[in-house]
Structure 1
Amino acid sequence: MTHSSPPPVTLWQRLSQASWQRRVVPGLTVIVLMVVLRLLGVFQELEWAALDSFLRWRPAEPTDDRLLIVGITEADIQQVGTYPIPDGVLAALITELQRHDPQVIGLDLFRDLPIQPGSDQLNQLMAESPELFGIEKVLSSAIAPPPALPEARVGFNDFALDDDGFVRRAFLGVFPPPAHPEGPERFRFSFPFVLAEAYLAQDNLYLENGRRHRDNMRFGTAEFWRFRPNDGGYAGADASGVQMLINVRSGPTPFTMVSLSAVLAGEVPPDLISDRVVLIGVTSLGQKDLVNSAAVNTLNPGLVYGVEMHAHITSQILSTVLDDRPQINVWPNPWEYLWIIAWGAIGMLLVGLIARPAWYLLGVGLIGLGLFVSSYVVLWLGGWWLPVMPTLIAFTLNGLVLPGFYLYDQTLRSRIAARQRVIEETYDAIHNGPLQSLALLLKQKEELSPTVQAQLADLNQELRTVYNRLQQESLPAEEQLPLGGGKVIDLRDELHEVLYEVYIATLKRDFPGFATLKFQVVKFEPMQEASLSADDRRALCRLLEEMLCNVGKHAIEAKRLTIACYATETDNIIRVADNGKGQPLPDTAPTPTTGGRGTQQAQALAQRLGGTYEREFTPTGTHCELRWPTQRPRPRWWPRSRS
């Protein structure tokens, strides 16, 4: 009967079959790191950039026919001949707009002080026009509203700025800070909010408290979720007042925009004004009435006119109430972190699911792309802002980077093993050739001169020393255990063999207790060592060395030494006993409960292995024993290794 050899196992197969412990611990470390970094706000700017990009990439929406922007352009300023625009020009503009029955007129210009000529006409219009609204500034460097406007027709035009200076949130209302000239008692509504509120009143839709949460604002069935400090990609943001995330209107022409001079000249069709919300503001780059936003498609990337951003916010409120247009929604924080953890776990699992490296790379790339695209689609269609960047990073690290480290480790181990094989094969060739010849020559000592005999003996020793040195240098540092006399032990060998090497090397040391020994009872048998790490094995070797050194240094007239390293059905055992007269070891007397440094280290090792350490001192000898279970207990949730 013939037996075929099994096919060679590739590095990728070794990786995919690697123990769960080797994959889970680094993978969980990555996931925990992602969660902690997100809690600390490290990913804020990445998540903001993703939100801006997703909003900017959406297909163009229809121009909102409820709004009209009357922009004061640089050409208008040149034509008027002065800036700020005089009150008389604004009065003429408002009068011309009123001829076509706009629903609401919002003046996004500060008029706390009169700008002659024409202040009387403007003040009269403000007092007598219920559809006319103005602005104030309440949050920083307060600016009073136009004195002719009643409080109900004034809204503040402050923007909520993120740490990068960009606008992604809008105020709906706020209490002024304590330093405000009128004090912090009266709640103020924002300029876009009062414009939208006045427009919605024509449909008998009025402001109410939220049904799902009383802190929310509501018109009819449309409820505006109040922004919280850790919503979406934010971490500890200032959520004072009532804020919402801005869902800007996509496309190159979200609103119709005309110039001041075009309105005064009667060039604007009446249907662009009638029954609309008309916003009047500066649209000249030279006047710096700008805000930063990367979500809006503009001719000047990242820059949006202040009046245009107010239009986006007003449009969002109206479209949410009247058209059921999605707001920017976020998951509760626990759901977001479960999402990150789940995708990090998927990255860990892929190694065991995809057999070929080429397919694996393609699979990781496609899944990562799918995650990114699906996050975009969910925002586009449903308004849900998912934590895409930390999720993608966790998935990529666990799906690509960690397997790369694993493969590097496997490759390094394979190369070390190959080098070790070359060394052993080389030594075998030397041993079976030149060393055998040397051995024959050394047996013929009587036929050789003393000088030649010495040279041959030195040559024999040098050849063996070269082999030992090469063998030791090929070992990884974490797998080495240096002993006295330049001896280095390979911790990857069977545990009982490694312990035997420690015993042999230690007994060669020049200790008085070893000189009196006449009889040694030695037992080294295979032990259950599958669950031991390299550090555990090193600690066991050092413990045996310490036990033997204590015999050599402290046993008096000991004749017999017993060393036993073996396994029972339930326990691994390392035992050292002597029959010397004995004396208390230096580290036992001061602290009989805990022992000295050596005892404490032994007890710590026993606790780590889930076992016990005992040292018994009697007039007829000393007995030391370490015992630990052959199968170390694991938590129930810990996955088993693949066989």
Structure 2
Amino acid sequence: MQPKLWKIIKEEIRVWRVGVFPGIIVIVLVIVARLSGSMQSLEWLAFDSLLRLRPEEPIDERIIIVGINQEDSLIDSSISDRDLAALLWKLHKCQPRVIGLDIYRDFPVNPGHTELLAAFKNIKNLIAIEKVFPKQIAPPPNFSVEQIGFADQITDADSKLRRSLLITRTPQGEKLSLSLRLAEVYLAHENIIFKNSINDRTTIQFGNTPLPKLFPNSGGYIRTDVTGVQVMLNFRSGQKRFRTISLNDIQSNKFDSQWLRDRIVIIGITSPSLKHLITTSPITSNHSTKTPVNGVEIQAHAVSQIVSTVLDERPLLNTWSDEWEYLWIFAWGFLGIAIARLSKSPLANIIIVITTTSSLLVTCYFLLTWGWWVPLIPTIIVLTLNGIELTALYQCDKALRSGIKARQDIIERTFETIHNGPLQSLAKVLKMVKYQDLPIKELLPELEKELEKLNHELRGIYDFLQREPPTQDSSLYLGNTLVLNLQDPLHEILYQVYSYTLARDFPCFRTIKVKIRTFEPIDERHLSIEQKQGLCRFLEEALCNVGKHAIGVTRLEVTCFSSEGWYTLSIIDDGLGINSSREGRGTQQFRNLAKQLKGKFQRVPLSSRGTICELSWPVTKFW
């Protein structure tokens, strides 16, 4: 029992070794590609897509946006100092906890500059903005350092915003962002104090709630510039994220002052035509699904995620360490190797890989909703490559072993046949010659008789071996691995030809997005094996022509149906195709086939774009 078990273990190790080494090579290559930054854009795309799939969140009632748009009286695309001063005083009377002014004001916009300076000086819960890089814009006058926050945002290489800069160093010292200043003032009223150190990798927190810092290789980022202190932006999902009140509504008293009491109020430009826009993928403007988001709303998201994390335990986006990320990739890659090994058939393998990949997507989605951004694209690549490609390797190894066993069986059966036939006759002849029991005149006829028998037996073995492969007249060979039995129903054979041919690696097959196929059962009692084979070859040749010549094809329709006394096998595509006056050998064969079937054949371009290749023959009997 023990030697048998050991033999099974050794055989299993040998089989696993077939796929483990190539599978590990795939994993290593994918990891190297990720480390080189080749997958960064794809990981950003997957990250954005998963964020867009999150369920809608309720409006953050703590934050109010006061939007200034083109309908308001603007001077050089900005509100006048007088109107801005009046707005600030009116908002201040509503007793908001803090007011953020997301409008650069390093120059006067008369009339009313003196009035605005007075408002700046006397409204103590007002935070103004400055720009610190690359071109600096000074803050308004009459503000202390604690009342100034920078409004700079850092976009990724694809010009999209996914992170928030909270603290940065400047020649004047360490500076905080507008969002961080607003959150600091708001949470101070809750007795929650902000602690930070730009040099400490861990100490950036409100009370006991840390804010996870972004590092150069966090998540899908590779060697990213993480100047200062940055965090990932966990945008609020949904169409209505914050309450927005227009300047006109404030001036006309069309609002409830309770909306602003004890809230964070952010004043900014909301007009989509004034170029105060930032491109993001997880969220879009409320005006259009393709419009970037106003800068003032970005500030609202940045404040909201901090305040909601501290007060509501809404998760901020965090990432694993590099070691855990690459262990995650390796684990899913090894799972792909296991799937390839344990799958009993290619179809089962595909189903398992699709199911596992779907589980991976769902897992990454839920992890993201819980605040964890884990590698998705490299994980899918190693899972699918190892899960599908290695199946072919395992199947090849299995076929090789089966072939060796089959050859051994043939050798054994052949030996048994020879041993039980010709060798027995030969032994008899040798015995007769050796012992010479009969006189020479009687012995020679006997020997001749036995040798003739031996000759027939040897020829019989040849005929026996010739009967081992499938007979040619009832089989259709497609490549080296697929043999179709032409005795089966024609519509089933055509479907197998269709499936096999579309699986071949022709360039134009890769662009097909819509496939329509219908193979109706037909009365084939009067079709010969040769004619059924010809119809299959016609379908195969027509599909191969699509795969080789139908450039830009996106739609393929393959049908076999009966209508008005005719059977029709039709292949229609919308590719460019080729125009040639010379008929190839395949076309000539199909015309001959149509003649045999007393039908008709056509291959013509369609009026707009595409080609129809069609063979029709009558339903009535023919011979």
TM-score scaled by length of structure 2: 0.61
Kindly tell me: are residues 75 and 409 of structure 1, through their superposed partners in 2, closer, same or farther at Cα, counting changes over 3 Å?
farther
Which of 16, 20, 23 is 1:27 aligned to? 23
Q: What is the CA deviation profile of residues 180-223 of structure 1, one whole-angstrom value per residue up to 9, with x for unaligned ones? A: xxxx1410000111011111111121112489966431111111
Which of 363, 375, 378 is 1:387 aligned to? 375
> Please, which moves more after superposition, 320-329 or 352-361?
352-361
Which of 211, 229, 233 is 1:224 aligned to? 211
1:278 corresponds to: 265
Q: What is the CA deviation profile of residues 371-428 of structure 1, one whole-angstrom value per residue up to 9, with x for unaligned ones? A: 1111101111x21111111111111110012323554687799999999x99xxxxxx
1:69 aligns with 2:69: no
1:94 aligns with 2:88: yes
Q: What is the CA deviation profile of residues 243-289 of structure 1, one whole-angstrom value per residue up to 9, with x for unaligned ones? A: 10111111111100111111111101112111111111111111111
User: How far 1:93 sits from its partner (Å)?
Assistant: 1.1
Cα distance in 2, alignment partners of residues 159 and 223 from structure 1: 21
User: How far 1:86 sits from its partner (Å)?
Assistant: 1.0
1:131 aligns with 2:125: yes
Kindly tell me: are residues 339 and 294 of structure 1, through their superposed partners in 2, closer, same or farther at Cα, counting changes over 3 Å?
same
2:238 corresponds to: 251
Q: Does the CA-based 8 Å contact 1:205-1:220 persist in structure 2?
A: yes
2:348 corresponds to: 359
Q: Does the CA-based 8 Å contact 1:165-1:292 persist in structure 2?
A: yes
1:50 aligns with 2:39: no
Does the residue aligned with 2:166 lie in a helix, a strand or coil? strand
In structure 2, give the amino acid aligned to 1:144.
A
Q: Does the CA-based 8 Å contact 1:73-1:282 persist in structure 2?
A: yes
Cα distance in 2, alignment partners of residues 417 and 214 from structure 1: 63
Cα distance in 2, alignment partners of residues 107 and 410 from structure 1: 71
Q: How does 1:167-316 map to 2 (within 5 A)?
A: 167-176=161-170, 184-209=171-196, 215-298=202-285, 299-301=288-290, 303-316=292-305
TM-score scaled by length of structure 1: 0.59
Does the residue aligned with 1:105 lie in a helix, a strand or coil? strand
Greater relative contact order (CA < 8 Å, ≥ 6 in sequence): 1
Kindly tell me: are residues 377 and 302 of structure 1, through their superposed partners in 2, closer, same or farther at Cα, counting changes over 3 Å?
farther
User: How far 1:112 sits from its partner (Å)?
Assistant: 0.6
In structure 1, give the amino acid aligned to 2:373.
W
User: How far 1:48 sits from its partner (Å)?
Assistant: 1.0
Q: Does the CA-based 8 Å contact 1:103-1:277 persist in structure 2?
A: yes
In structure 2, runs of 5+ residues without a counterpart are: 1-10, 411-421, 423-623
Q: Does the CA-based 8 Å contact 1:216-1:225 persist in structure 2?
A: no
How many correspondences in the alignment? 404
Cα distance in 2, alignment partners of residues 405 and 416 from structure 1: 16
Q: Does the CA-based 8 Å contact 1:16-1:351 persist in structure 2?
A: no
1:59 aligns with 2:48: no
Q: How does 1:460-499 map to 2 (within 5 A)?
A: none
Cα distance in 1, alignment partners of residues 277 and 337 from structure 2: 46
Does the residue aligned with 1:69 lie in a helix, a strand or coil? strand
User: How far 1:356 sits from its partner (Å)?
Assistant: 3.4
Q: What is the CA deviation profile of residues 304-328 of structure 1, one whole-angstrom value per residue up to 9, with x for unaligned ones? A: 1110011000001101111111110
Q: How does 1:156-171 map to 2 (within 5 A)?
A: 156-171=150-165
1:523 corresponds to: none
Cα distance in 1, alignment partners of residues 389 and 166 from structure 2: 45
1:152 aligns with 2:153: no
Kindly tell me: are residues 303 and 412 of structure 1, through their superposed partners in 2, closer, same or farther at Cα, counting changes over 3 Å?
farther
User: How far 1:293 sits from its partner (Å)?
Assistant: 0.6
Q: What is the CA deviation profile of residues 162-182 of structure 1, one whole-angstrom value per residue up to 9, with x for unaligned ones? A: 111111110111002xxxxxx
Q: How does 1:602-641 map to 2 (within 5 A)?
A: none
User: How far 1:72 sits from its partner (Å)?
Assistant: 1.1
Kindly tell me: are residues 257 and 417 of structure 1, through their superposed partners in 2, closer, same or farther at Cα, counting changes over 3 Å?
same
In structure 2, give the amino acid aligned to 1:261.
N
In structure 2, give the amino acid aligned to 1:119.
H
Q: Does the CA-based 8 Å contact 1:344-1:394 persist in structure 2?
A: yes
Q: How does 1:75-90 map to 2 (within 5 A)?
A: 75-76=71-72, 79-80=73-74, 82-90=76-84
Q: What is the CA deviation profile of residues 86-124 of structure 1, one whole-angstrom value per residue up to 9, with x for unaligned ones? A: 111111111111121111111111101111111111111
User: How far 1:297 sits from its partner (Å)?
Assistant: 4.1
In structure 2, give the amino acid aligned to 1:96.
K
Cα distance in 2, alignment partners of residues 400 and 409 from structure 1: 15
Q: What is the CA deviation profile of residues 459-512 of structure 1, one whole-angstrom value per residue up to 9, with x for unaligned ones? A: xxxxxxxxxxxxxxxxxxxxxxxxxxxxxxxxxxxxxxxxxxxxxxxxxxxxxx
1:398 aligns with 2:392: no
User: How far 1:75 sits from its partner (Å)?
Assistant: 1.7
Kindly tell me: are residues 302 and 410 of structure 1, through their superposed partners in 2, closer, same or farther at Cα, counting changes over 3 Å?
farther
User: How far 1:41 sits from its partner (Å)?
Assistant: 1.2
Q: What is the CA deviation profile of residues 348-368 of structure 1, one whole-angstrom value per residue up to 9, with x for unaligned ones? A: 011232323322221111111
Q: Does the CA-based 8 Å contact 2:98-2:125 persist in structure 1?
A: yes
Cα distance in 2, alignment partners of residues 405 and 121 from structure 1: 80
Q: Does the CA-based 8 Å contact 2:18-2:393 persist in structure 1?
A: no
> Please, which moves more after superposition, 398-407 or 47-56?
398-407
Q: How does 1:222-621 map to 2 (within 5 A)?
A: 222-298=209-285, 299-301=288-290, 303-380=292-369, 382-404=370-392, 407=395
Does the residue aligned with 1:393 lie in a helix, a strand or coil? helix
In structure 1, runs of 5+ residues without a counterpart are: 1-14, 177-183, 423-431, 433-643
Cα distance in 1, alignment partners of residues 175 and 319 from structure 2: 26
Which of 85, 110, 114 is 1:120 aligned to? 114
In structure 1, give the amino acid aligned to 2:262.
D
Q: Does the CA-based 8 Å contact 1:210-1:223 persist in structure 2?
A: no
Q: Does the CA-based 8 Å contact 2:194-2:205 persist in structure 1?
A: yes
In structure 1, give the amino acid aligned to 2:161.
V
Does the residue aligned with 2:173 lie in a helix, a strand or coil? coil
Does the residue aligned with 2:205 lie in a helix, a strand or coil? strand
Kindly tell me: are residues 16 and 357 of structure 1, through their superposed partners in 2, closer, same or farther at Cα, counting changes over 3 Å?
farther
Kindly tell me: are residues 376 and 158 of structure 1, through their superposed partners in 2, closer, same or farther at Cα, counting changes over 3 Å?
same
Cα RMSD after superposing both structures: 3.1
Does the residue aligned with 2:162 lie in a helix, a strand or coil? strand
Identity %: 41
Cα distance in 1, alignment partners of residues 197 and 75 from structure 2: 49
Q: Does the CA-based 8 Å contact 1:251-1:297 persist in structure 2?
A: no
Kindly tell me: are residues 352 and 401 of structure 1, through their superposed partners in 2, closer, same or farther at Cα, counting changes over 3 Å?
closer
Q: Does the CA-based 8 Å contact 2:341-2:394 persist in structure 1?
A: no
Kindly tell me: are residues 17 and 98 of structure 1, through their superposed partners in 2, closer, same or farther at Cα, counting changes over 3 Å?
same
